[in-house]
Amino acid sequence: MTAAREKLQISQQDARALEYIALNPGVRPGVLREYLGITSAGVTTLTDRLVRRGVVSREADETDRRATHLTASIDLDAEPWSTLTAIDRELEQAIVDSDAHDVAAATALLERLLGALTR
């Protein structure tokens, strides 16, 4: 992810936001704010930056003039943006290529570890 961000000249926060918007077209800024854990002013600044860069567009809500929706103007499957999701695709392929028993054991271990972290 670090190499992808450097290649695209994009910050960690912008990369997370852009990926979330691309995977959730039409998301409202408030939902993005909650996902990222930032302030309303922070999401506005971030969104302005992505809009200026031409990678996100803002559309007015047709039923509520005060609301807007965010949509990515890029394709995460196309270069150079596919670098943001390369690790996800590689991990998915590694899981597919693995023995089902090994995947089940790894899943159980991760569930226990994450459960311990959330307690």
Which whole number is the average pLDDT over 95-109? 92
pTM flag (> 0.85): no
Q: What 3-state class would DSSP assign to 72?
A: strand
The rounded distance, in Å, linking the Cα atoms of 43 and 34 is: 9
- Domain positions in the chain: 1-118
Q: Class of the 1-118 domain? A: mainly alpha
68, containing H or E segment: strand 68-72
pLDDT tens per residue, range 90-100: 888 899 999 99
Residue 71 in this model has a pLDDT that exceeds 70: yes
pLDDT digits (tens, 9 = 90+) for 2-52: 666 677 788 889 989 999 999 999 999 999 999 999 999 999 999 999 999
